[in-house]
Structure 1
Amino acid sequence: MSSSKTIKVLTLSKYYPRDNGFIPENQSNIYACMDPPVEAIEAGKAIALPHGKFKIDLILKQLPSGWWPDLVSISSTLMLVQNPPIPVGIPSLTCPSVMKLIDSHHMPRPIQNLIEYAKLVGCQYHWTGYTRHHIHFFVEAGLPNVFWMPGAISIPPYVPESVKDKTYDVIFRGAVDSNHYHRREFLKFLQEAEINVDFSGSPYAECLDIYVQSKIVLNCSLNGDLNRRVYEVLMVGGFLLTDRLALQSGLPLLFQEGVHLECYGSKQELLDKIKYYLSHPDAAAEIARQGHELFMAKYHPEILVEKFNQIVFDGKSIPSIFSAQDDVRVTNIFNRTININNLYSRLKIYELLQEVHRLNFEIDLLYYRGKNELLIADLSDLPKFQITSVDSSQELANTTKDFEVIIIDLPNEVSDLKHLIEQLNPCLSGCSLFLALGISSSIKQKKLNSLLKSKGLVPTQFVERDNRTYLAYQRQFEENQTLSRTKKLNLELFRYSDIEDYNNPLNNSSGGIKQLVKNLVHTINMRKG
């Protein structure tokens, strides 16, 4: 599509847009959303969305005369709505349709919900801005034309004037609520180490100016996501120190550590690098300069919008970096038979462990005699997990780690359970979470319950009650009891006794994802002691 032509975009989203999003000059937008501002409706810029299923024609008929969309863009934030809006008839549109897949890296059942909602809507294209490492799940589920576009695509271009004297030593701008466990812990650690770190709140536009006025800008992802703060800091020319992400996230593919930005993987490494760059400001300035130049040359929002338009409007092939062709989990999909039930079983396990990953540091995980190679591949994008997979008792005897999480495949015969648990006995005293994967009969479940109870592990339920996927066990602590191990995970379960069953947020009777959080029978919060 010609860059000089005005592109008309009809966007369906939960929210009417804020001022910190990027809209190209040649783009005209109308928003169909929940409870849009009255003045936006009167100006012909917004349309109110209904709840539940509705024909997309209902929205199209309300468009201003002479305005017809070149693109229909749908945000998965609609899933957050009670009785979520589900447009019907999207595949029949004469213009392209695209769904943005958001927040697959936290909240209960996030990836499964996105897949189910996307299939109900039926867009032609699907893209994600911050969770490139989940593309393989969406492709395996059968969503068409899945790609990643770096989150810089949504940032309004802005480069403040440079300053000679830096006002701040270290700053962080972003949410520090209870969902962002790592951020809170890192900031607390830095304060205790007497680092002068400023993490007060600021309006978005002020943040960009403050990044330039700071010697070090700290970033910490929520849960392995390549968030927009990475791009914001590099765009304005700040020195960025961010958490080290998995290769599949895309961060190491876009920017080189020590050249365009700096990374940390632990509290101590964070502290060491802060001290180093505070005492070597010229080195920090050179990294900031190179990061800014690379961003402006390759990842400026206008450049990414052009690449996006080439894919969606011109039908050009999705570049390999955006379709994650470097991720063998994507390329191997086309070399094997897809079993959708197997995918959903893996997702249930992955989503549980993804939450464990969100709330912990450096988790040692043992998969003993595990046969599910796809699951191991799934977990490889959660860098805080140190995964050990062994197939024999001899290999197990040679390991020296204390494993906080242990996973096994349930044996076919009940009689084999006792032998399996006996082999694991040296590891069980340090285990806080035990998962047994596979279909379990009531007899097999009772036997495993008995064997693990003697080791201090008791049955528990998490997001989904599904004994066909896995059995879960947690360590039961007496008050003030601690493990003899130097490392441990504490499982603190928040109980919702008035809620009995998990509800799928896509059911019309459900309250969406926010209600889903309340519907948890248990939610997991594991912390290192």
Structure 2
Amino acid sequence: MPILYATHTSPGYMDPPRLSADQVVCGPARPDRSDGDRVVSLQTALGSYDLAAVVDRLPAAQRPDLVVVRADATRRNRPGNLAGVQARRVLLIGDTHHGRAPIAGLIRYAKSEPFDLILLDYTRQHGHFFLEAGLRPVHWLPAFAIDPPPVTGLPEPRRGLTFLGQLGDHHRQRRLMIDRLIEAGLTPELFMAKGAAGQNLHAASTVAFNCSLNGDLNQRVIEVLAAGGCLLTDRLAPQAGLELLFEPGRHLRLYDGPEDLVSQAKALLADPAQAAAIAASGKARYDEAYSRGPVMAEFAALLEGRDGRPAHALARDPRCAKPAPVAPEALEARLALYQGLQELHRLEPALSVLFAGEADPDRVSDAVDLPRLAVSVEPGLGASAREAIGRLTAPGQVTTQAAEGRRWDVIVASSAWLAAAGGNAFLARRPRALALTDRLADPRAPGDAPAGFTPWRSFPGLLLSPELVPVARAKPD
């Protein structure tokens, strides 16, 4: 089947999976390239461009029956005029876990074009936002966007603890974990490698360490298990879906914070046989469920309008089972808060948030998928709101605490609640950041911020104390 795959990535970096022997790749970082009389790739404009015009550049025999558009928060690949393409049209949602307005921007794009199918790969936790925006059909298809190359002939593992990937400033939690491993004397070997070279490194390691950028089920999880490596990776929120795919302790190991990482790394390095058993079990699970055969079979089913595998059903997240789409302005207000919390979560190793007063269950349940964010409500919250929160979240994800019980990183409250709590006197000793619920619908509207607090330029739904302003000056990547 002729396929056109549109992506922002450059050759050699997050290359598209091979969906067909007759596949053309296009995008702003792809060169015009042919193999004889067959087109291999086409360069497009950066950002927005006319996809029908790109199709017109193809020979008649290569006109696609299927178009896959990979779009993410970078906005580098947002083709338009898909209505002018006579093919089925699939939107593959990329990164929505960092950057400016990543979810809201992709919802707007998804609504602007006639997609026949919308897929999430490694940010299952955001599926409910797309469904609440009224988009259909939306499915989670893990491991779809990656096709790791096979490991080439290697001897037994000859490395200890390894890490492969980026360590730039936007990967703050990853850098923190690496630093803690080094402090503990474990000296992880750090690599940047792509394709087969990366897979060989995973396979040659006793333990392959991973840390998500921001609570996402990143592609390294699939790569390490495909290579037959023993994966030690951070525990994600239940909403991310990692534990629906792989069983902790059997297929991989999960750690909770830097001290647990050090402890588990030491234990695995001291017991290479145990690490090898986990690696073998993880590889078998990958081969059975997430290699190209089963993934492509599920993709074919989704294209035909049939259900995917039960474990991948978004309805398993109660937030995806709400009865009707949300009013756009209400969803935009929730996203103004969530996307700010998400970016703060990327920057900080641990956070607390209090949803004060009559907390909105939707806002509370939005926040629980940020794994290092401790979410609380006040003791006086009404029974109906508590019942709704309990229905939408996993056990233990929301606790009850009084506003005066601690210093909070973020307080989400109405202006009336803040005034009753003591106004500026309360703010001087309690939160590092504040979100006023009556301003979230239009956070950029004129209005004075409480004394000492400044709207976050990139995420104006959050008002920052002087303590947090330097942290937030790091530009969203």
- Please say whether Structure 1 and Structure 2 have the same fold, judged by a TM-score greater than 0.5: yes
**How much has 1:170 moved relative to structure 2?**
0.6
Q: Write the letter of the residue equivalent to 1:297.
A: E
**How much has 1:492 moved relative to structure 2?**
1.0
Cα separation, 2, equivalents of 1:55 and 1:170: 47
Q: Any idea what SS the aligned residue of 1:40 has?
A: strand
Cα separation, 1, equivalents of 2:319 and 2:119: 17
**How much has 1:15 moved relative to structure 2?**
3.9
Q: Write the letter of the residue equivalent to 1:37.
A: P
Map of 2:282 onto structure 1: 291
Cα separation, 1, equivalents of 2:23 and 2:167: 32
Query: Kindly tell me: are residues 252 and 371 of structure 1, through their superposed partners in 2, closer, same or farther at Cα, counting changes over 3 Å?
Result: same
Summarize the alignment of residues 61-80 of structure 1 with structure 2, pairs less than 5 Å apart: 61-77=56-72, 80=75
Map of 2:339 onto structure 1: 351
Verify: 1:273 aligned to 2:264, yes or no: yes
Verify: 1:316 aligned to 2:306, yes or no: yes
Summarize the alignment of residues 43-58 of structure 1 with structure 2, pairs less than 5 Å apart: 43-50=38-45, 56-58=51-53
Summarize the alignment of residues 201-280 of structure 1 with structure 2, pairs less than 5 Å apart: 201-280=192-271
1:325 aligned residue (315, 321, 338):
315
Cα separation, 1, equivalents of 2:148 and 2:372: 32
CA deviations 1:397-424 (Å, max 9, x no partner) are 597443222221233xxxx643223699
Cα separation, 2, equivalents of 1:107 and 1:22: 22
2:122 aligned residue (112, 130, 136):
130
Cα separation, 1, equivalents of 2:328 and 2:145: 32
Q: Any idea what SS the aligned residue of 1:404 has?
A: strand
Map of 1:184 onto structure 2: 175
Cα separation, 2, equivalents of 1:27 and 1:249: 32
Map of 2:391 onto structure 1: none
Map of 1:484 onto structure 2: none
Cα separation, 1, equivalents of 2:40 and 2:435: 51
Q: Write the letter of the residue equivalent to 2:41.
A: A
Range moving further from structure 2, 45-54 or 235-244: 45-54
Cα separation, 1, equivalents of 2:424 and 2:376: 16
Cα separation, 1, equivalents of 2:78 and 2:431: 43
**How much has 1:337 moved relative to structure 2?**
5.5
Q: Any idea what SS the aligned residue of 2:4 has?
A: strand
Q: Write the letter of the residue equivalent to 1:348.
A: A
**How much has 1:151 moved relative to structure 2?**
2.5
Cα separation, 1, equivalents of 2:418 and 2:213: 38
- Report if aligned partners of 1:370, 1:391 keep a CA contact under 8 Å in 2: no
- Report if aligned partners of 1:155, 1:301 keep a CA contact under 8 Å in 2: yes
Q: Any idea what SS the aligned residue of 2:62 has?
A: coil
- Report if aligned partners of 2:232, 2:253 keep a CA contact under 8 Å in 1: yes
Cα separation, 2, equivalents of 1:52 and 1:134: 23
- Report if aligned partners of 1:24, 1:302 keep a CA contact under 8 Å in 2: no
CA deviations 1:152-201 (Å, max 9, x no partner) are 5522341444633x322210000000110011111111111111211132
- Report if aligned partners of 1:36, 1:46 keep a CA contact under 8 Å in 2: yes
Map of 1:338 onto structure 2: 326
**How much has 1:58 moved relative to structure 2?**
2.2
- Report if aligned partners of 2:205, 2:229 keep a CA contact under 8 Å in 1: yes
**How much has 1:242 moved relative to structure 2?**
0.1
Q: Write the letter of the residue equivalent to 1:287.
A: I
Cα separation, 1, equivalents of 2:231 and 2:255: 11
**How much has 1:49 moved relative to structure 2?**
2.6
Cα separation, 2, equivalents of 1:369 and 1:463: 27
CA deviations 1:68-125 (Å, max 9, x no partner) are 31201112159633xx65421x246443110111110001111111111122222111
- Report if aligned partners of 1:152, 1:228 keep a CA contact under 8 Å in 2: no
CA deviations 1:358-388 (Å, max 9, x no partner) are 1112212211114311011111110101111
Identity %: 25
Cα separation, 1, equivalents of 2:19 and 2:326: 43
2:28 aligned residue (34, 56, 61):
34
- Report if aligned partners of 2:150, 2:196 keep a CA contact under 8 Å in 1: no
1:101 aligned residue (93, 98, 119):
93
Q: Any idea what SS the aligned residue of 2:422 has?
A: helix
Cα separation, 1, equivalents of 2:115 and 2:144: 23
- Report if aligned partners of 1:356, 1:524 keep a CA contact under 8 Å in 2: no
- Report if aligned partners of 1:104, 1:110 keep a CA contact under 8 Å in 2: yes
Cα separation, 2, equivalents of 1:77 and 1:17: 17
Verify: 1:139 aligned to 2:131, yes or no: yes
Cα separation, 1, equivalents of 2:178 and 2:121: 26
CA deviations 1:230-267 (Å, max 9, x no partner) are 11111121111000001111101011111110011111
Cα separation, 1, equivalents of 2:378 and 2:98: 29
Map of 1:154 onto structure 2: 146
Query: Kindly tell me: are residues 410 and 524 of structure 1, through their superposed partners in 2, closer, same or farther at Cα, counting changes over 3 Å?
Result: farther
Q: Write the letter of the residue equivalent to 1:492.
A: P
Range moving further from structure 2, 18-27 or 364-373: 18-27
2:470 aligned residue (492, 495, 516):
492
**How much has 1:21 moved relative to structure 2?**
3.8
Q: Any idea what SS the aligned residue of 1:432 has?
A: strand
Cα separation, 1, equivalents of 2:433 and 2:300: 46
Q: Any idea what SS the aligned residue of 1:106 has?
A: coil
Query: Kindly tell me: are residues 445 and 396 of structure 1, through their superposed partners in 2, closer, same or farther at Cα, counting changes over 3 Å?
Result: farther
Q: Write the letter of the residue equivalent to 2:422.
A: I
- Report if aligned partners of 2:73, 2:100 keep a CA contact under 8 Å in 1: no
Cα separation, 2, equivalents of 1:338 and 1:132: 19
- Report if aligned partners of 1:246, 1:382 keep a CA contact under 8 Å in 2: yes
Map of 1:512 onto structure 2: none
**How much has 1:308 moved relative to structure 2?**
0.6
Map of 2:4 onto structure 1: 10
Verify: 1:87 aligned to 2:80, yes or no: yes
Query: Kindly tell me: are residues 70 and 319 of structure 1, through their superposed partners in 2, closer, same or farther at Cα, counting changes over 3 Å?
Result: same
Cα separation, 1, equivalents of 2:72 and 2:476: 24
Summarize the alignment of residues 296-445 of structure 1 with structure 2, pairs less than 5 Å apart: 296-312=287-303, 314-332=304-322, 335-336=323-324, 338-392=326-380, 397=402, 400-411=405-416, 417-421=418-422, 425=426, 429-439=429-439
Map of 1:513 onto structure 2: none
Cα separation, 2, equivalents of 1:331 and 1:273: 37
Cα separation, 1, equivalents of 2:132 and 2:290: 28
Q: Any idea what SS the aligned residue of 1:321 has?
A: helix
**How much has 1:336 moved relative to structure 2?**
4.2
CA deviations 1:32-86 (Å, max 9, x no partner) are 32264244387522333346766544233221132331201112159633xx654
